[in-house]
Amino acid sequence: MMYIVFIMGVLYVVGFIGFSSKPSPVYGGMSLVVSGGLGCGIIMGSGGSFLGLVVFLVYLGGMMVVFGYTIAMATEEYPETWGSNVVVLGAFLVGLLMEVFMIMWLFSGEHELMGFYFGGLEDLMVLGEEGFEYVREDYSGGASLYSYGFWFLAMAGWMLFVSIFIAIEVTRKRY
């Protein structure tokens, strides 16, 4: 179990390398989906079942679906993939090499192994004054976004609206 979360973390980074080596967005979107799924796996492996399902639902089921449809509208005839362009393949291989070096560095030396600490999301939080009232931290975190963290929610919602607004304003026809 300890290794599963670590391997999912490494594959998460490999997915990021897959789209940051800049193939066409069709393939980049696929890489994002893989990374999103593995990210959900990392969160679930650390014990946060609610937050992992939120990632799947909102990120993959909401954002990536919209992203996929917009890519499908704006795609080109011969999309660039990892094998079709030497630059993209080179960037992917360099990224993979850096990841391998990082893993080798992680397992060398006497320092504490990072990436092997898991289980931080399954804690229980004490709620209520009389004791014996426990609530899971990730559930109550999601709920407190609407109570204590209302200002955060307002700002996050406002910024999502303004980001879409700016995207439309920037890509408007300009003449």
Interface with other proteins by CB under 8 A: which residues? Answer: 152, 155, 158-159, 162-163, 165-166, 169-170, 174-175
Residue pair 50/138 in contact (Cβ under 8 Å)? The answer is yes
Name the minimum Å distance from CB 166 to other proteins.
5
Name the minimum Å distance from CB 165 to other proteins.
7
Name the minimum Å distance from CB 156 to other proteins.
8
Residue pair 134/127 in contact (Cβ under 8 Å)? The answer is yes
Q: Which is nearer to other proteins, 105 or 158 (CB)?
A: 158
Both structure tokens of 100: 């391998």
SS3 at position 136: strand
Q: Which is nearer to other proteins, 104 or 170 (CB)?
A: 170
**Cβ count near 134 (within 10 Å):** 13
Distance (Å, rounded) from C-alpha 99 to C-alpha 17? 9
Q: Which is nearer to other proteins, 65 or 154 (CB)?
A: 154
Instruction: Say which amino acid occupies 48.
Output: G
Residue pair 38/44 in contact (Cβ under 8 Å)? The answer is no
Name the minimum Å distance from CB 163 to other proteins.
6
Q: Which is nearer to other proteins, 100 or 166 (CB)?
A: 166
